[in-house]
Amino acid sequence: MMQNRVNIKDESRSAVASLRRDYCRETLDKKSLQADPIDQFDHWFQEAMNCELIIEPNAMTLSTAGGDLKVTSRTVLMRGYDKEGFRFFTNSQSTKGQQMAKNPNVALLFYWAPLERQVKIHGSISLLPRFVTEDYFFSRPRESQLGAWASDQSRPLANRQALEDRLQELAKRFLNEPIPLPEFWNGYIAKPDSIEFWQGRPNRLHDRLRYQQQENGEWKIERLSP
């Protein structure tokens, strides 16, 4: 039996190592890019939203590091973007909230596998005005508003029932009245200084084109080796 288990593990590892897929859907060159990276992002994002195979095109990996420089990553949902940056909302007492308070440098990654594309963003984070956070919070379903109060995000939890009990307690507390915006729940905007557009190509020779913001505020576009 032990030998069989070892063989299964070895076969699984071998299968992972042999996974191959050639990307051949699209190409990307400098001439086809918009002059401004947000305009280019908007073009790709619209195509991602129109792709039925992509369930949440606004899902992005957010990477942060605190004072100890240990990097952590998680998926969050982008809730807006414009020339100023990319917006999302979260609990400021969470691990990411505490790290962003100590170190404003962040990275975002959008990966749209069916389109064989990803967008990598580096920039700095800042809090959104409180009224913007309020507007978004009160637009959320009531259950999501309660969830923001119920979750002591990133803290150890005894069991699932403790979370469910907390949710029911809050539902009774705010019964028949508006749910207030928690003090610890905030909106953030990541202002980019670098945005890279990646298009999968055959033989791992992918197209990578990066916008780098210059001191005068203009964007320089350069091709990177795959």
Catalytic residue numbers read: 204
Handedness of CA 190, 69, 74, 103 (dihedral sign): negative
Both tokens of residue 18? Answer: 């042999």
Q: Say if CB 141 and CB 120 are below 8 A apart.
A: no
Nearest Cα to 108, choosing from 94, 124, 95?
A: 124
- Say which DSSP state 31 is in: G
- Say which DSSP state 80 is in: E
> CA–CA separation, 59 vs 138, rounded Å?
21
Side-chain half-sphere CA neighbours of 83 within 13 A: 5
Nearest Cα to 48, choosing from 122, 123, 119?
A: 119
Q: Say if CB 168 and CB 149 are below 8 A apart.
A: no
Q: Say if CB 13 and CB 19 are below 8 A apart.
A: no
> CA–CA separation, 182 vs 76, rounded Å?
19
> CA–CA separation, 177 vs 179, rounded Å?
6
